[in-house]
Structure 1
């Protein structure tokens, strides 16, 4: 039996891309599987970059889209580094997902390792079928029934000079697994652009954070109300010039113990940022002001970014439109996303998505996708349920329904494959996933008790 698609490209070599390559190879039916990764190795965001990305507004004015040469193949001068390829990993970062759920089902973390420290979060090497590293996918466009990828690979030494090599490759299908934690999101705030221009070193995104030592005895404002904000507050509240200011539009109630840590002052949304001869002053929606702020640290998440897909599926509301179950392009399932979900128990969901896609591409499945009309209706219903925002891609609390869909679509492995049967959803996986947050909550509460004991002793 021939597969639905003979040749498949995988874009991205992080956890979701590794999962896709592994699943495709195990089907033992595809003529060509190619992996394209813009870094020099697999692993994605789990690599540590000592020099971080820079605050988006510092480079926005200078950023220009890369023009594609009129004739390919082509050699060109080196393209400036895409700093969004640098990761957000820092020394003290912990995963917020328990190791039992964070790992792939086929490769659990060794029990001797830490339950949550990222220094132990390695990656499984894929079988690496024809990988192309240091390669950026500049464009992916469907032409005459084929996906045409325009590619640029850096690091070619020609006559003693470094050059970029440009070329095209064609595929029957494409899996985009490039992740969604690369391009920082910073809210539009009146006065911010001018303040960054005048005091560029006063502003950072959480992606730039590397070491708490950089904030000792400084007046700091953290903006954000979710996991990354909680981690930063926990790292900084005891070392900055008190109080640590915390601005929130909304907040995750499961992290209340972090928001109420000692020396933390919760503020409403930032309404404006003004500059003075002494630095920057932050104004809030309730009329209050924090003067002479040394550091504003935005823990405000990331923008979805698939600029190479033609047409670009990312909406102004920061969601991906037109993909059934966050995976298959409606009307053309030869384009699939793996990893475009939130609150879904990584890496397990990447693994399940990858296996389901690989078996659909292989034509193994007894189950088929619903009609394009039914898929469109799924998106309409999803918008009514989750809203037109990044939360559209949030799987929580419907873990079972989503994993059931993936296991049903994947079906059993073919006898001639090297694949395996996906285990059915178990409620304990969600419990495993939230173990680390529970431990953190316990630790944060202990800090509250220490403060209360200290105050009682003084009285």
Structure 2
């Protein structure tokens, strides 16, 4: 077990669910002199905070992060897997036939959770971390130099030093676009939109729509826009659907082959699509890309571990990192070469809220020298090496590996991963055994049942919409 000096000043960057629960755990379960959270927007909630600037698809006054959420959004995780330890998620406003919390429900929960920390001054809104730089060990100010932009003071910048930093920003600043011939031309013409900027089906009235992907975002967009589209919505799919992404079949959604090429019309107001099976679809108006996101670490610079005698800052991660991930993380939480940099929410799991709770509790106790971690960088890198090898082995055994079989997607490993963190925590603090979420066969069975429940909720909503349509009078 590594034993290091307990950080005195800890900064959390990001006021979404991961950052909020990390703040709570650092404050209540840690032994630090000062903990602070910065959120670059004017309210906490992350992707669950939707304001009028987001709805109108404009940037807010300072050009900061717009939420990818939209009015009418309903989640796909049940309330029991959303509540942070000691702060259960209330019964959602939805009906028994649709038990998943809405955007409004989730946003209200996060605001309630954050309220005490806003009042105490632990949360600082309108503060954006521009850069985070690792300092040499002889720096007396702190391990990390952070440049902050204060939007309440006209975007004025300042430099602060912190002993430890938690990165709790998600992937949503970095949408992934498919590398397809002609896509750039469609983007320039304003005919290609990433799912991040989808704001509801109203914008699709009377349009001929093409959707790429078949995960949650793509399925939602196809289902929601199909009643308003001019003709069927074409949904392009490369691989079979992932079991965790329930979707409804519809005569107004036509599944088609992967795209070979987009051809922008001379008018630049429409385009054709040439599919890999030779089919051509003509005169389409918009393509939505539900093709995911990639890790955002470009604002973080670390000392090059390969040059210990020549301190040189390099970016932590880049597009060249393969497979795509935040590199060099022990248990996908702690930076292996400097344990005072932590990440919460760097992985994809079925239950992100409660996973962030357990991960940030583990990090808190690790920094307090209560949860064990290897004492050397090579020891801390072993987790990454083992996982890379496991993913490589699994992909080699599959004829057509799913795109969700990657380093950062826990999938079937979620139970073992979370349970391992939880065991370390309870070993250090037995009293937390009663409040922390549990991953066992029973809870996994309930979690896996969410997909059937979500499908039934989608069917109910579709049938209810059909019954609500007025009957034509003779």
- TM-score, normalised via structure 1 length: 0.82
Structure 1 residue 229 corresponds to structure 2 residue 218: yes
Structure 1 residue 216 corresponds to structure 2 residue 235: no
Alignment gaps of 5+ in structure 1: 60-78, 157-162, 451-459
Offset, 1:445: 6.1
Offset, 1:136: 1.3
Q: What are the superposed Cα offsets for residues 388-440 of structure 1, whole Å, 9 maximum, x if unpaired? A: 9872111221222111221133235669x999753542333334434443133
State the secondary structure of the residue aligned to 1:433.
Answer: helix
State the secondary structure of the residue aligned to 2:383.
Answer: helix
Higher RCO structure, 1 or 2 (CA under 8 Å, sep 6+): 1
Structure 1 residue 392 corresponds to structure 2 residue 396: no
Q: What are the superposed Cα offsets for residues 303-347 of structure 1, whole Å, 9 maximum, x if unpaired? A: 211221103333424311111111011121111100111024121
Structure 1 residue 354 corresponds to structure 2 residue 339: no
State the secondary structure of the residue aligned to 1:290.
Answer: strand
Offset, 1:135: 1.3
Q: Give the structure 1 partner of residue 149 of structure 2.
A: 152
Q: What are the superposed Cα offsets for residues 146-168 of structure 1, whole Å, 9 maximum, x if unpaired? A: 11111111232xxxxxx321111
Alignment gaps of 5+ in structure 2: 138-142, 302-313, 396-402, 465-474
Structure 1 residue 430 corresponds to structure 2 residue 444: yes
Cα distance in 1 between the residues matched to 2:21 and 2:171: 16
State the secondary structure of the residue aligned to 1:398.
Answer: helix
Cα distance in 2 between the residues matched to 1:239 and 1:319: 38
Cα distance in 2 between the residues matched to 1:46 and 1:313: 27
Offset, 1:246: 0.5
Q: Give the structure 1 partner of residue 294 of structure 2.
A: 303
Paired residues of 1:8 and 1:32 also in contact (CA < 8 A): yes
Structure 1 residue 90 corresponds to structure 2 residue 96: no
Q: Give the structure 2 partner of residue 66 of structure 1.
A: none
Q: What are the superposed Cα offsets for residues 123-161 of structure 1, whole Å, 9 maximum, x if unpaired? A: 0115245433211111111113311111111232xxxxx
Offset, 1:112: 5.3
Paired residues of 1:257 and 1:445 also in contact (CA < 8 A): no
Offset, 1:446: 7.5
Q: Give the structure 1 partner of residue 7 of structure 2.
A: 5
Structure 1 residue 319 corresponds to structure 2 residue 325: yes
Cα distance in 2 between the residues matched to 1:382 and 1:2: 26
Paired residues of 2:85 and 2:435 also in contact (CA < 8 A): no
User: Where do residues 184-223 of structure 1 align in structure 2 (5 Å cutoff)?
Assistant: 184-197=175-188, 199-200=189-190, 202-223=191-212
With 390-399 and 348-357 compared, the bigger mean Cα shift is at 390-399
Cα distance in 2 between the residues matched to 1:127 and 1:257: 37
Offset, 1:98: 1.2
Q: What are the superposed Cα offsets for residues 63-89 of structure 1, whole Å, 9 maximum, x if unpaired? A: xxxxxxxxxxxxxxxx98445x11011
With 253-262 and 99-108 compared, the bigger mean Cα shift is at 253-262
Counterpart pick for 2:159 among 161, 164, 168: 168
Q: Give the structure 1 partner of residue 104 of structure 2.
A: 119
With 229-238 and 13-22 compared, the bigger mean Cα shift is at 229-238
User: Where do residues 387-426 of structure 1 align in structure 2 (5 Å cutoff)?
Assistant: 387=392, 391-411=406-426, 422-426=436-440
Cα distance in 2 between the residues matched to 1:432 and 1:312: 41
* RMSD of aligned alpha carbons: 3.2
With 406-415 and 219-228 compared, the bigger mean Cα shift is at 406-415
Cα distance in 2 between the residues matched to 1:256 and 1:301: 14
Paired residues of 2:6 and 2:32 also in contact (CA < 8 A): no
Cα distance in 2 between the residues matched to 1:446 and 1:286: 35
User: Where do residues 359-374 of structure 1 align in structure 2 (5 Å cutoff)?
Assistant: 359-365=365-371, 367-369=372-374, 371-374=376-379
State the secondary structure of the residue aligned to 2:247.
Answer: helix
State the secondary structure of the residue aligned to 2:220.
Answer: helix
Cα distance in 1 between the residues matched to 2:40 and 2:74: 25
Say how many residue pairs are matched: 418
Paired residues of 1:233 and 1:258 also in contact (CA < 8 A): no
